[in-house]
Structure 1
Amino acid sequence: MKIVLSTFIVICVGFGNVLAQNDNQHKLWYDAPAADWNEALPLGNGRLGAMVFGNPVNENIQLNELTLWGGGPHRNDNPNAKEALSEVRNLLFDEKYDEAHRLAEKSFISKVSHGMPYETVGNLRLNFKNQENYTDYYRELDIENAINKTRYTVDGVEYHREMFTSFTDQVIVIKLTANKAGKISFTASMDRPEPAKVSTYTENGNLLVMTGFGSDNKNKRLPKETPAIKGEVEFDSRVKIVPSGGALTATNNTLEVKNADSVILYISIATNFVNYQDVSADAHGRAANYLAKAEQKKYEDLVTDHSSYYQQYFNRVSLDLGVSESTKNPTDVRIKEFRDGFDPALAALYFQFGRYLLISSSQPGGQAANLQGLWCKDLTPPWKSAYTVNINTQMNYWPAEVTNLTEMHDPLIQMVRELSEAGQETAKVMYGAEGWVTHHNTDLWRIAGPVDGATWGMWPTGGTWLAQHVWDKFMYSGDLGYLKSVYPAMKGASEFCLSVLIPEPKNDWLIISPTISPEHGPKGRNKGINIAAGTTMDNQLVFDMLTKTIAAAKLLNVDAGLVAKMETTLTKLPPMKVGQYNQIQEWMEDLDDPEDKHRHVSHLYGLYPSNLMSPYRNPELFQGAENTLIQRGDPSTGWSMNWKINLWARLLDGNHAYKLMGEQIKLVGRPGSPKGGGTYANMLDAHPPFQIDGNFGFTSGLAEMLVQSHDEAIHLIPALPDVWKDGNVKGLRARGGFVIESLEWKNGEIVKAIIKSNLGGNLRVRAYNELAFENGKQLSKATAINSNKFYSIPDIKQPLVSKKAQLKELTLKPSYLFDIPTKAGEEIILVKK
């Protein structure tokens, strides 16, 4: 093997370029070490995370464990809210917004806790001797196998590092090799941003152990006399070094390897966390047990088991959008040149990188991916790296079902179950309401009271949005057993809505008050005064929650009385409105500013991720949504940019969605690079700073450009940009239990589609070119409402259109609509007619 590799090196300019050009479809690769954390490469197994810098001299492996948070089990409800509720509502109806804001700040916002931060475990530092003068440098993240590699040459010796976070054995494994014996020498130490106990295990002299607790924490917004929430998460992180050849010694909390032929390092981390109410586990026993089991296996078996487990998810979807000359360049160069060049393979890599990150940060039985997934270098990260549930946490899971990662959705579903328990007390104490509530932010401890001040936190429908996910998961699977298990969370979310809806004085519509349109206020208000009544997003969320709970109850044949109440309530909700600027109104009153470029477009929830706005069913709303997006503009922060990609895909405008992809895939974070949102060299989303929701939003957005299944039919390549004339995708899922096993297009037209029906029932397909069965048999044109129960059409009230609005007639690209009866397990093969 070495002889062949040497031949390649002679032929090519450099060692790195050879490896890069050898099948780099699913590889991020670089010709220099990471300059900072935003260039390090992420590894994760859903519980353990590592950021790898790839430095030949001073390697840093920054470590995370997804249950290491500050604080401990606690509640943060404000019991003063219930008494103040009526007065706040009256102030809002009297348009005394400043007074309403002050009273909400005083009586609703938590006086106990504003949420706990997610924290880093710390760092494993490997300092190598005599490695400064390295050449032929190369590092990669192989997202097809979930393995990181670093390679370089010093004085004619080739050094290799291979690292992965094992899904199957729950340890991080590093293997160090060189092509000459006795050439590996380094010291290993561990540290954390604040004091923690670090020691070497002296019996065998080959074990580093660092232990400690998550921080005691108190938000600066709280009064001085408020006690901190005690840090109760205990962690144990340990590193075992097993050299082949050479010597290993332990001195001063450091392990030293001298003149080894190869070395394997096992990193085990565990905490005492059991669930959001229980921190009674044995962190030390857990960490020791993971380590003891892993070191009994051969290295080759560790690698094989790890990659095989990972690939059962990753390999479900493949995407080919074409290649270009750009693929020969390092990933950071490709990111920098994407906007001004042509690199369809980078868009495909970005899509698959999002799937890699979701598999790596959200595993069944574990915690949901937070604001940074599971990768965090701080003790007090931006926005606590918590669960911001007014868009960010939901966006993390937009790709889960459509990109065939339904198991990765499970941690979020479990979080909803837990919030539906914790939030019952909050609903009762703060609102005197039935059901459960969560506001705009929560954490590992499932706090449900409002935090961060009334400007951001006075929003009681965070749980209402989260609960949509449990229904959406069912829409893809049709699993009635699953639906029965999550129905209580749906029912509780609807019961809260029914309890707190009140009639507004002008039209007697039922609305939520007090609330906000996340994190935004109307023109003309004093800064930070966002409090409102009956915002458009809340109206949409309540409509969706009641509609979906009704459907679930009827499928399960339960709660007939509640169903009747919800059906009556639906008739009393406000309609969506098209305002004077031809926009979807964000508030009940026509207060939108067409020059407003705010990052949140909450009132377009009804377009995406919901399906309340359709070009085929309610074109006025559809046009209003498009006008709203045009007025808000394209430039934005990371997650907002990627929400807009999804929105433009839903507007069936692939070229505009692709334009925003160019705004997202632009290199930031380096000297001389553009400011604002974009992509760091390691392909993580820059809000800035890093937020992982942008990565996930990009992946879901690209999927929406290729397959949509929200508007009564499976729409194939609904928003294909002109630059992707030819391509194919395999494995995307559609609502109704359908899998797009293969979809191929040429010159912008579908040439072949294979769709598997897992549940049976009517398959309705929409396409821009006419299709036929593979045997030439003609398809039946669809005429009536889709009979498939998974494609019921939302009964949206006709929108109210301002007299000042002047909507133009909507022109849509002509499409064909076909109905195909299917049986469970059947494959339908369609070809271009």
Structure 2
Amino acid sequence: MIRFRHRTNLLLVVCSLLLSLQTRAQNPLTLWYNKPAANWNEALPIGNGRLAAMVYGTPGRERLQLNEETVWAGEPGNNVVPGVYEGIVEIRKLLFAGKYKEAQDLANKTFPRQALTTNNYGMPYQTVGNLLLTFPGHEAATNYYRDLDIQQAIAKVSYQVQGVTYTREMFVSLPDQVIVVRLTASKPGSITCRLGMNSPQLSHSIKTEPTKLVLAGVGGSNDNKVGKVKFQAHIVPKVEGGTVTATDSTLQITGATAATIYVSMGTNFKSYKDLGGDETAKAASYLPAALAKAYPATKAAHVASYRRYFDRVSLNLGSTDAVKKPTDVRIADFATGNDPALAALYFQFGRYLLICSSQPGTQPANLQGKWNDKLSPPWDSKYTVNINTEMNYWPAEVTNLSELHQPLFSMLKDLAETGKESASVVYHARGWNMHHNTDLWRITGNVDGGFYGMWPMGGAWLTQHLWQHYLFTGDKAFLREYYPVLKGAALYYVDALQEEPSHKWLVVAPSMSPENTYQSGVGITAGTTMDNQLVFDVFSNALRAAAVLNTDKAFADTLQGMIKRLPPMQIGQYSQLQEWLQDWDKPDDKHRHVSHLYGLYPSQQISPYANPELFAAAENSLVYRGDKSTGWSMGWKVNLWARLLNGNRAYKLIADQLNPAGTEASGQNGGTYPNLLDAHPPFQIDGNFGCTSGIAEMLVQSHDGAIDILPALPDAWPTGEVKGLVARGGYVVDLAWNKGKVTRLQITSKLGGNCRLRVHSPVAATGTAKLATTRGTNPNPFYQNTVIKTPLVSAKAAVKKSTLQPSFVYDLATKASTTYTLNGR
């Protein structure tokens, strides 16, 4: 408990608190609190992509909950079930005969829902354990404060005990690959604490060497896989004054003026198919260089390495007195208050989390980024690829963190290998595919049985990130390297598509619209709208990539012919974009997945200018589905409303998301925990990333033939400034606005070419910039408009075209590595 020990000190403490409040108000990029974390959802996340920790900040007993990204249950091996192809063939027959319940029953029998002893539904990501720092007598602390500075990537705790101010600084070093805990005190010789560890892992041990604490363990067994990931955590303190002594399981620091504690972790993991590494040697390898540096140098190197990513983008939406309140209070007040700076902080917090959970050479960010305190976390904290993993990387390109996309690309190379087995064995197809989940071992088979698991589209969605990366960067060498992955995904659908009997369209069967049903207990079907949209993109991307690389003309001809046979999108009887091939939508369906709106976002198949009826139908579908949902679903809806050019509705979803999450462990209530992490509930990181990308989409879009400036600006942000957002074609956008109108627009062109701009208030060129009247289609190859089939419209539909805000469209000829400035007029 935190309390004041001496009433006579009260005035001094109050003055000190007021001064610290003023300091905090000057740093809009800090999460701060006046009490320790009471639970995991109040602890603060730090990480460097490979290592992660949650910091609790309790004065008497600090807890750092530790993760190393390759500590998973299980061992190498796929989860493809043999002997199921005949069942797939029969399911197709039943679907095309209209026997949907029978098809679902057979799918459930062919792919049982329960985990099998002969197979598995994926392995869980697991915690290493906890580093515990016990400070005797510090329970009675006063003047408590803790924060997370996301501009520096440093967590801090400070408090007073008997007139001595104690401070902790904690970060996970990007360059040195260790977790660093710095302890200081205002009075020399005041630091005395005990270092201990624990772990929930069933197989683990703790021992000490003269000045080192070592936790060794093995990841758990699960389903039909034996735990074979060996890990170690090495804890080494470096003290200034005082002494370090060891017991059999703890280290004791006594009478130090300052102490720096280094945490290094390593495993035997080398790749998804190789556990031949040496966990002891890896954990030990990072320590000599880290220990050789003075703390100021270590801290400076970490901050510099981190800020080379973070500082690329700034966002100012204005500020009010709300910034003087602790972050948990700001979350509670957001929906009814006036706190635009919290939306900006939330946007930047998403970028912080991506930097800290996905670095080049690491594993991709999973369902909880890299932060997990359990052995069996919700949904195993693995990679759910029917929305969640993709959402994790939506901010990567647009918020100027393109390099951080690389772990996902590396995983795609692995999946393109393991996915050959599922394509061949389950569907008798060439190429590669996967279903809706994967893990460290790159499984590609069915997960969760014949209902949730019958969705062979995970690879189709993931490969969109390859093509989008090319559109943002123009990196032809990258495209050449990953073209085989794109081609393999397309080749699978060349073989797997089936001709449906009514229109002779080519469709995916069996499949489903992720996790939704159209009859009670029946979700399995053929030709869902999302599947059709995904296959269209897979084929289109492979076609365009082949053209860019001047390769594979015969294969491109095959794809071109098959695209013509894909189903068009359809507008159903309720004037909605249909979710299924048949008009089965229910207006009262509030399901969390809005899969049929993939074509609106993140794809670019539905344009307000080229497809106004579809655009309106998509809006109707989103209105029917409702706002309140799981955290990640509301994050997706921010992006969808931004694409629908409705800034106020997008802002409402942000406000819904920035409501305090409840204490329930499950459900579909969404919201935000006190540490700003997204609640499904429980915690999933995708909602954070979805809202970050959604705010970017509200300010700049670049998918519909032009760079659209302030396409979905809400009334709540009348004045602001953003710098560093990235548009397709390699354009970096800085802009300022006042009363909703652009006052200054700066475009930096990395690649050159025609820059077509759409603005909603007129602008004028300055300096070398020369604006021209637009003519025809944008000639920039990165801005090719998506041409889709004319949609089919139900005779019962009454679609009304949306009213769009006026816009001004200009062409700006640009040269590579040149900046152009426009001013509002």
For the pair 1:34 / 2:37, whether they are aligned, the reply is yes
- Counterpart in the other structure of 1:415: 411
- Counterpart in the other structure of 1:426: 422
- Counterpart in the other structure of 1:382: 378
Superposed CA deviations along residues 486-524 of structure 1, whole A, max 9, x for unmatched, are 1000000000111111110000001000000001011xx
2:783 corresponds, among 780, 785, 791, to 791
Residues 1:327 and 1:670: Cα distance change in structure 2 (over 3 Å): farther
Residues 1:73 and 1:19: Cα distance change in structure 2 (over 3 Å): same
Per the TM alignment, residue 809 of structure 1 is displaced from its structure 2 partner at its CA by 3.4
Contact 1:15/1:136 (CA < 8 Å) preserved in 2? no
- Counterpart in the other structure of 1:756: 748
SS of alignment partner, residue 679 of structure 1: coil
Q: Provide structure 1 residue ranges, at least 5 long, that are not aligned to the other structure.
A: 1-5, 219-227
Contact 1:247/1:260 (CA < 8 Å) preserved in 2? yes
Superposed CA deviations along residues 101-141 of structure 1, whole A, max 9, x for unmatched, are 23223335675111000000000111110111111100010
For the pair 1:309 / 2:305, whether they are aligned, the reply is yes
Per the TM alignment, residue 95 of structure 1 is displaced from its structure 2 partner at its CA by 2.0
Per the TM alignment, residue 785 of structure 1 is displaced from its structure 2 partner at its CA by 0.5
Q: Which amino acid aligns with 2:28?
A: Q
Structure 2 distance, partners of 1:510, 1:114, is: 30
Per the TM alignment, residue 7 of structure 1 is displaced from its structure 2 partner at its CA by 13
SS of alignment partner, residue 455 of structure 1: helix
2:24 corresponds, among 20, 23, 36, to 20
* TM-score, normalised relative to structure 2: 0.96
For the pair 1:657 / 2:650, whether they are aligned, the reply is yes
Contact 2:755/2:813 (CA < 8 Å) preserved in 1? yes
- Counterpart in the other structure of 1:398: 394
For the pair 1:773 / 2:776, whether they are aligned, the reply is no
- Counterpart in the other structure of 2:75: 72
SS of alignment partner, residue 814 of structure 1: coil
SS of alignment partner, residue 105 of structure 2: helix
Per the TM alignment, residue 445 of structure 1 is displaced from its structure 2 partner at its CA by 0.4
- Counterpart in the other structure of 2:216: 211
Q: Which amino acid aligns with 2:281?
A: G
- Counterpart in the other structure of 2:189: 182
- Counterpart in the other structure of 2:7: none
- Counterpart in the other structure of 2:434: 438
Structure 2 distance, partners of 1:745, 1:7, is: 44
Q: How does 1:671-686 map to 2 (within 5 A)?
A: 676-686=669-679
Structure 2 distance, partners of 1:660, 1:28, is: 22
Structure 2 distance, partners of 1:660, 1:216, is: 40
SS of alignment partner, residue 624 of structure 2: helix
Superposed CA deviations along residues 752-803 of structure 1, whole A, max 9, x for unmatched, are 1110111111100001111110259873221301101111111111111100
SS of alignment partner, residue 686 of structure 1: coil
Structure 2 distance, partners of 1:271, 1:392, is: 26
Contact 1:16/1:138 (CA < 8 Å) preserved in 2? no
For the pair 1:63 / 2:66, whether they are aligned, the reply is yes
Residues 1:674 and 1:274: Cα distance change in structure 2 (over 3 Å): closer
For the pair 1:489 / 2:482, whether they are aligned, the reply is no
Q: How does 1:139-178 map to 2 (within 5 A)?
A: 139-178=146-185
Superposed CA deviations along residues 717-771 of structure 1, whole A, max 9, x for unmatched, are 000001111111000000011111x201111001111101111111000011111
Per the TM alignment, residue 471 of structure 1 is displaced from its structure 2 partner at its CA by 0.5
RMSD of aligned C-alpha atoms?
Answer: 1.8
Per the TM alignment, residue 348 of structure 1 is displaced from its structure 2 partner at its CA by 0.3
Q: How does 1:39-438 map to 2 (within 5 A)?
A: 39-108=42-111, 111-202=118-209, 204=210, 206-218=211-223, 228-438=224-434
2:823 corresponds, among 803, 807, 831, to 831
Per the TM alignment, residue 273 of structure 1 is displaced from its structure 2 partner at its CA by 0.7
Q: Which amino acid aligns with 1:28?
A: L
Structure 1 distance, partners of 2:415, 2:694, is: 28
Contact 2:745/2:821 (CA < 8 Å) preserved in 1? yes
Structure 2 distance, partners of 1:88, 1:439, is: 17
- Counterpart in the other structure of 1:526: 520
Contact 2:571/2:791 (CA < 8 Å) preserved in 1? yes
SS of alignment partner, residue 286 of structure 2: helix
SS of alignment partner, residue 239 of structure 2: strand
Structure 2 distance, partners of 1:198, 1:91, is: 55
Contact 2:143/2:160 (CA < 8 Å) preserved in 1? yes
Q: Which amino acid aligns with 2:304?
A: S
For the pair 1:810 / 2:802, whether they are aligned, the reply is yes
Q: Which amino acid aligns with 1:328?
A: K
2:556 corresponds, among 554, 558, 563, to 563
Residues 1:116 and 1:652: Cα distance change in structure 2 (over 3 Å): same
Structure 1 distance, partners of 2:576, 2:330, is: 37
Per the TM alignment, residue 304 of structure 1 is displaced from its structure 2 partner at its CA by 0.7
SS of alignment partner, residue 208 of structure 1: strand
For the pair 1:634 / 2:638, whether they are aligned, the reply is no
Q: Which amino acid aligns with 1:496?
A: Y
Structure 1 distance, partners of 2:770, 2:463, is: 41
Per the TM alignment, residue 455 of structure 1 is displaced from its structure 2 partner at its CA by 1.4
Structure 1 distance, partners of 2:203, 2:246, is: 19
Superposed CA deviations along residues 549-584 of structure 1, whole A, max 9, x for unmatched, are 100000101110011010111111000001010100
Per the TM alignment, residue 96 of structure 1 is displaced from its structure 2 partner at its CA by 1.8
Per the TM alignment, residue 246 of structure 1 is displaced from its structure 2 partner at its CA by 2.3
Stretch moving more, 99-108 or 479-488: 99-108
Superposed CA deviations along residues 408-455 of structure 1, whole A, max 9, x for unmatched, are 100001111110111012111111101100100000000000111121
Per the TM alignment, residue 673 of structure 1 is displaced from its structure 2 partner at its CA by 15
Q: Provide structure 2 residue ranges, at least 5 long, that are not aligned to the other structure.
A: 1-9
Structure 2 distance, partners of 1:68, 1:705, is: 38
Q: Which amino acid aligns with 1:819?
A: D
Structure 2 distance, partners of 1:634, 1:288, is: 50
Per the TM alignment, residue 258 of structure 1 is displaced from its structure 2 partner at its CA by 2.0
Superposed CA deviations along residues 214-273 of structure 1, whole A, max 9, x for unmatched, are 10111xxxxxxxxx3011111011111222222322224111222222111110111111
Structure 1 distance, partners of 2:303, 2:231, is: 27
**Identical pairs, percent:** 52
Residues 1:7 and 1:315: Cα distance change in structure 2 (over 3 Å): farther
SS of alignment partner, residue 103 of structure 2: helix
Contact 1:8/1:18 (CA < 8 Å) preserved in 2? no
* TM-score, normalised relative to structure 1: 0.95
Structure 1 distance, partners of 2:792, 2:559, is: 23
Q: Which amino acid aligns with 1:526?
A: S
Superposed CA deviations along residues 147-200 of structure 1, whole A, max 9, x for unmatched, are 011000111110000111010000001111111122211211111113444333
SS of alignment partner, residue 485 of structure 1: helix
Q: Which amino acid aligns with 2:353?
A: L
Contact 2:201/2:217 (CA < 8 Å) preserved in 1? no
Count of equivalent residues: 812
SS of alignment partner, residue 231 of structure 1: coil
Structure 2 distance, partners of 1:623, 1:395, is: 24
- Counterpart in the other structure of 1:225: none
Contact 1:16/1:137 (CA < 8 Å) preserved in 2? no
Contact 1:38/1:669 (CA < 8 Å) preserved in 2? no
SS of alignment partner, residue 605 of structure 1: helix
Structure 2 distance, partners of 1:673, 1:372, is: 15
Per the TM alignment, residue 15 of structure 1 is displaced from its structure 2 partner at its CA by 6.0
Contact 1:638/1:677 (CA < 8 Å) preserved in 2? yes
- Counterpart in the other structure of 2:6: none
Contact 1:15/1:138 (CA < 8 Å) preserved in 2? no
SS of alignment partner, residue 68 of structure 1: coil
Contact 1:9/1:15 (CA < 8 Å) preserved in 2? no
Contact 2:229/2:269 (CA < 8 Å) preserved in 1? yes
Q: Which amino acid aligns with 1:85?
A: I
